Amino acid sequence: MTAITSSVGALDVQGIVSQLMMIERQPLSASMQRSNQYNTQLSTVGKLSSSLSALQTAMTSLASGRFLQVFKASVSDTSMAAVSTSSGGNSGTFQISVGNLATNRQLVFDQLGGQNITDPKAVISGAPDELTFQINGKTQTVKLRDKPGDQVTLQTINDKINSAGVGLNASVVQNGTQYKLVLASSESGTDNQFKITGGGSDSGDTAGSTLAGLTQSSTGAQESQNAKNASLTVNGVAISAGSNKISSAVPGVELDLYKTGSFTVTLAPDNVGIGKGLQSFVDAYNQVISDVKDARSGTLKGNASVLDIQTRLQQVLATGVPGADPVNSVAFLAQVGISLQKDGTLKLDQNAFNDALKKDKQAVSNLFGNPANTGFAQRFNQEINSMLGPNGVIETSKASIKSRVNTETQLQSSLQARLDSKQTQLIQQYTALNKTLAQMQSGSNSLFNMISK
């Protein structure tokens, strides 16, 4: 925009042009206000899109029936194991007997040249430049020297192994004046055990291995161990696992084994957990209704497309599941405690839902999702897919509003160019007028002075 200037004269050019430009600027200001309104509308439509997507997410487990497969698990002896639940599973009691826990392979090196190690920073003469290990079928290399002549110590070996990240954990352990290097697989189980293949030798057992000139005493051998898989039975069925965290033994349950022995795990339906899944659906639906109301009372007041969102969702609620008997079974959400309120929101009666679930769990499950894809969750999903699709109410509303924004943007560019030109013209005109007036004033003063003499 051209800067407003003024020159000495009878007229306040800057003030006059500023006042005139305020009037000239009104169409641009009106266009900018419309742009702000359209951008607010875009934000409102985006919020509706997000709430519809959230509702769709909340219905996923309802459509599949997974929300009914929520159980609470308990263990008879908490000193032996802990349990946590995931989706799936079935009610029941499971007898578990643990024969042995999964272990990591561990080798302890506590001697150098047949003597105990008393200084972890003492140089190990003759140490190799690198070590190699085989871990889970893969060869891993650990460099002990970055350049020729670097000194290798017990601490060096420890640090280099840990920084290499090859699937081994090293530690220097002090016992009185003696120091030991302990190597252990990062993970338990026979698949994850390591083997020394270079820079030392591996007996394949707990004793007789060497590493970079380090050896094992009888004590070091006793402190070493071989890798094992966890061995257990579940209701008499044998199971082997490389970890003490086992998710395959009891469906829907993760076991965390602490020690060997026998215990029982009991799974029972978790009505509280089921209720949370249902409440998530109800809350997500109510959020959509709230956003629709806010939109219709705000920048999208009177917009028929927004009202259509609520209408289509309520039509799904009003239509029972085809083929379901509403008298002897359940065909509507209201029959399982999810009722439509006067304000258009949903409300969950957990006790009513529990009663319906206890009476006929399969009928309740079919109410939300079934092989014919006619469950409420499935039909809600279909409607929302349509709304969010390329030709749906959300995308078409966005496209329409964006088109208006673009139109206003182009108009503003045109108006601004005209304003810049108009301002330049006014400045030139009033500056010239000011100059003329100044000349007239000067002439008048000269004439007055001549007359006065």
**pLDDT tens per residue, range 351-402:** 999 999 889 989 999 999 999 999 999 999 999 999 999 998 889 888 888 8
Q: Which two tokens stand for residue 283?
A: 């809350």
pLDDT at 301: 83
Token match 């641009």: residue? 28
What pLDDT score does 341 carry? 93
Count CB neighbours of 44 within 10 A: 22
pLDDT of the residue at 300: 86
Closest by CA position to 262, among listed 72, 118, 97, 424: 97
The reported pLDDT for the residue numbered 443 is 61
- For residue 453, pLDDT beyond 80: no
Task: Say what the pLDDT of residue 7 is.
Answer: 45
User: What are the domain boundaries of the chain?
Assistant: 48-67+272-396, 71-101+229-269, 106-223
Measured distance between the N- and C-terminal CA atoms of the chain, rounded to whole angstroms: 50
Q: Is 114 helix (H, G, I), strand (E, B) or coil?
A: coil
Question: Of 85-99, 287-301, 361-375, which gets the smallest average pLDDT?
Answer: 85-99
Establish how many alpha carbons lie within 13 A of residue 47's alpha carbon, considering only the half-sphere containing its beta carbon: 19
Q: What's the CA gap between 212 and 111, in Å, rounded?
A: 11
Distance, CA of 384 to CA of 259 (rounded, Å): 51
Taking a C-beta distance cutoff of 8 angstroms, is the pair 200, 211 a contact?
yes
- Distance from C-alpha of 213 to C-alpha of 158, rounded to nearest angstrom: 14
Q: Which two tokens stand for residue 246?
A: 């086992």
195 neighbors 204 (Cβ within 8 angstroms) = yes
pLDDT score at 447: 64
Average pLDDT over all residues of the chain:
89
Is residue 11 within 8 A of residue 434, CB to CB? The reply is yes
> Span 9-18, mean pLDDT?
77
In whole angstroms, what is the distance from residue 164 CA to residue 181 CA? 16
Read off the pTM. Answer: 0.63
